[in-house]
Amino acid sequence: MDRRHFLAATGLAAVSPALGHAAAAASAEAPLFSSVNFYSDGVDYTPAEYATRLHAVATREDFAADYYSLGGAVESLEKKFAALLGKEAAMFVPTGTLANHLAIRKLAGTDQRVLVQAESHYFNDSGDGAQALSGLTLVPMGLGQADVTLDEVKAWVERTAGGRVKTPVGVISIESPVRRRDHAMADFGEMQRVSAYAREQGIRLHLYGARLFNLPLHSGKSLTDITALFDTVYVSLWKHFNGASGAILAGDAAFIEGLFHQRRLFGGALPYAWPQMALVAGHVDGYQDEYARAWRDTEALMALLAGDGRFTFTRVPQGTSRYFMAVKGVDAVAMAGRARAHGVLLPAPHPVTGALAMQVNPSVLRSTPEALARVLVAAASG
């Protein structure tokens, strides 16, 4: 069907079967594993979907529970991530916030200054925990930018070295992609230069990589090309890999050895972590391929919607998983309500511009670009 012909076939009554979704999608009888969301990093399981998958995994003969986050499924996952990230060892941590804190405080030791991006989660969204809990001084760099430049790093290291009281820079932490810059990635070439310089200076490096697994598609660099620049790496388990919560912290064996005592010190040793992370292993291996296919389908969807004339799209420079969608002459809240009834979940529109910050994730593979375009065009038409 050509694009114009296809877009003419609108009307919400016509679109439900295409998604395999009855109009009662929002009700308790909605079919499981069928909704497509445009706001999350993962498929965003509902409680019923999560419980269904958890039952399937936990009743496998070889599934073993952990105890106090040690052993069993937790240990297998740690080994899997250590190998994927090219590091000797890894540790499960119940949240990313704690994983980054444990990594940076140990890397810093007594060298308390830590260079971070002004736009980073660590600087903005961790409640000044670095200062309050571990006596670290965070130095924010690059206001409004995703990149960390060698020039700025050098300027701070040199200024610090000239202080009357010795306060050395112990760690450089780089977040990439950067959530507060719409998931733009930090430039790889600059990261390489910063890493080489830091190593010359004896400064340790932490990769704040909640969404690290999205970088290879957009940067052309493999996971290990990127992680090799850093001493320690954090990856979220609940964003791409659909855990209920959790994070991985990877580094060399000596760094991870005994670190579980610190995890416990900060109240982070869950007596049973397995219900949080049991689904993760099943999502890791296929993730990069699914994400690439999700982007391919998203490009096809954008092309179909552009043919309607009301939909326009904006890309993020150095972008990864985000794009913006605007729909001319349409009440975006009402449109989202209509799409939701058909299992297509949109983000809340920007309160002033009405633009939708759309997120690419593998849930888009539950449908087809054609079916999704039909739902969105019909939802925009009222």
Ligand X SMILES: Cc1ncc(COP(=O)(O)O)c(C=O)c1O
Q: Which residues bind ligand X (CB under 6 A)?
A: 95-97, 121, 175, 179, 210, 236, 247
Measured from the CB of residue 181, what is the shortest distance to ligand X in angstroms?
10
- Which is nearer to ligand X, 112 or 117 (by Cβ)? 117
Residue 177: asked if its preceding bond is cis (omega within 30°), the reply is yes
Q: How far is the CB of 20 from ligand X (least distance, A)?
A: 31
Neighbours of 106 (CB within 10 A): 20
Q: Which is nearer to ligand X, 121 or 338 (CB)?
A: 121
User: Which position's Cβ is nearest ligand X?
Assistant: 96
Query: Could you tell me the two tokens for 326?
Result: 């605007």
Query: Least distance to ligand X from the beta carbon of 257, Å?
Result: 23
The residue (of 236 and 321) whose beta carbon lies closer to ligand X is 236
Shorter beta-carbon distance to ligand X: residue 185 or 345: 185
Q: Which is nearer to ligand X, 208 or 311 (CB)?
A: 208
Q: Quote the least distance from Cβ 123 to ligand X, whole Å.
A: 11
* Residue (of 222, 219, 223, 240) closest to 320 by Cα position: 219
* 174/377 with CB nearer ligand X: 174
- Alpha carbon distance 148, 172 (integer Å): 10
Shortest reach from residue 356's CB to ligand X, in Å: 19
What is the distance between the alpha carbons of residues 87 and 281, in angstroms, rounded to a whole number? Answer: 18
For residue 337, the SS3 value is helix
Instruction: State which residue, 179 or 204, has the beta carbon closest to ligand X.
Output: 179
In whole angstroms, give the CA distance from residue 343 to residue 27: 10
Q: Is 93:81 a contact under the CB 8 Å cutoff?
A: no
Give dist(CA 318, CA 145) in Å, integer.
11
- The distance of closest approach from Cβ of residue 234 to ligand X in the complex, given in angstroms and rounded to an integer, is 7
Partnered with residue 206 across adjacent β-strands are: 173, 232
Give the DSSP letter of residue 111: -
Phi, psi of 312 (to 5 degrees): -130, 155
Neighbouring CB atoms inside 10 A of 135's CB total 11
Least gap, CB of 304 to ligand X (angstroms): 30
